[in-house]
Each structure stands twice: as C-alpha cells, then as structure tokens.
A = this chain, B = another copy of it.
Amino acid sequence: MNSTQNTDGIFPRGQQTSPDYFTGTAWLNVLVPQDETGHYTIGNVAFEPGCRNNWHTHPAGQILLVTEGKGLYQEKGGPARHLAKGDVVVIPSGVEHWHGATADSHFTHIAVTNLTAAGAVSWLGPVTDAQYLACQ
C-alpha cells in the first residue's frame, strides 16, 4: 500500500493485484464476480504508471473498455497499440498478449472476461523491461 491512490476513478480501486502476474502496482475491483448465466466476470483494473501484467492468454477471450489514462496493448509478435479513454480492445481466445499503463501515466480499464471450465486466464512470464520500453 505504498503508492498514491488515483482518486479520480469511476470505481473504487479495490485490492492490489498479485506480483506473481503484474510488474509494478495495479488494483483490481471485481464488479461482478459472475453474471447469472455464468459466462463472464467483470472487473475494473487500475494500473499505476509503468505497471503492466504478464504475458497471458484467455481461453474464451476478454474485452477491455478503457476509461482513463494512457495504456498499451500488445499481442505477441505484433506492434503495441496505444490506448486512451474510449478505446475498446477485443482480445481473441488463445492469443498471447499483455496490457498496462504507459511509463508516465495511470491507466484504467474495465475488463469483461469470459469464463470457462478451464478458467479465465493462463498466465505466462513477465513483460521484460526491454520489451516494455520498446513500446513507449
């Protein structure tokens, strides 16, 4: 809890994310653990500057709705996409990728993550500093 709070957020910032899956500090607020159909979960993720999640895949895809700040989204082998308020990212199932804040800005998105019997995410290794800095 040694970081400043982004008090401009739409949703309360929630709980700090696991360092096992994030480089830097981010906060997860689970808005809807599971909808009545059981098909998806909805969360709000607030990244502090420089923070990004590990490379990962989703077995049934995920949708990001960017609400604040400046961020990055990169699929393995492709260029990084710069993100800002109002952007929508449709992440296909099985595609290795990461997302997070730029080095100099907070970044917040809502995530709608599809649930499966095999879970909702498969975590891989960290985005290295070299990989991250190459995207700024």
Contacts and interface: CB of A to CB of B under 8 A. Distances in A.
Contacts of A92: 36
Interface residues of A, number: 26
Given A10-B86, A63-B32, A65-B31, A39 B42 contact: no
B60 A37 contact: yes
A10 to B, nearest CB: 5
Number of copies: 2
A46 interface: no
A123 interface: no
A90 interface: yes
A38 to B, nearest CB: 10
A110 B86 CA distance: 12
A92 B11 CA distance: 22
